[in-house]
Amino acid sequence: MNKQELIERIKCLKNIFGNKTKYVEKDMVIKLISELDEPEKVKVSEEEAKFLETFNLNYEGDVATALYHVSRTGWGYELTDRDGTELKHLTREARLPKNRKRLIKAILDGYEVNKEKRYLVKLKAVDQYLVSIKDENFLGFLQSRLRSKFTRKELEQVGFGWVFNCEGIEVEEVE
């Protein structure tokens, strides 16, 4: 039941208890309020959740700041977190009105994180795994115990989207 439906049902209580009654049965009102729908939490990506976590959304000042940063995106501004760090990888998506609206709802009503599927990528013939070592700026196949987990989006961004359609590559979904 939405807010308007709740108001209508409470107005109907007059018919049950009469216009002159000063008091209404508490249990009846509690039952009606418990049927009121709470706003549904918005689903956000892991990257969006990291952005939102830079703000303390329990503090009014941070809520206003987060709303400001999201709403100005695409009007000549990049999406920036609380510390002023530009998030260029999120800006392109946040410029779309539907995504800005979704992020604003996440700030106001709360959010749940969509856990993206992660994959191990293995060369079948030589038993080597795709490994990313960010400190050394390395991305390649190694025959070692090192194994990196990637999202589909990460693989596509570095030009490895083809691994999903290659017979010589084994792509294994992991937790």
- pTM of the complete model: 0.57
State pLDDT tens for residues 20-41.
666 667 777 788 788 777 777 8
The pair of three-digit structure tokens given for residue 49, joined into one six-digit string: 């959740």
| Structural domain boundaries in the chain | 3-34, 42-113, 118-174
First and final C-alpha spacing in the chain: 37
pLDDT at position 171:
92
* pLDDT top residue among 49 and 21: 49
| C-alpha to C-alpha distance for 48 and 45, rounded to whole angstroms | 5
Interval 90-105: pLDDT, tens: 777 888 889 889 999 9
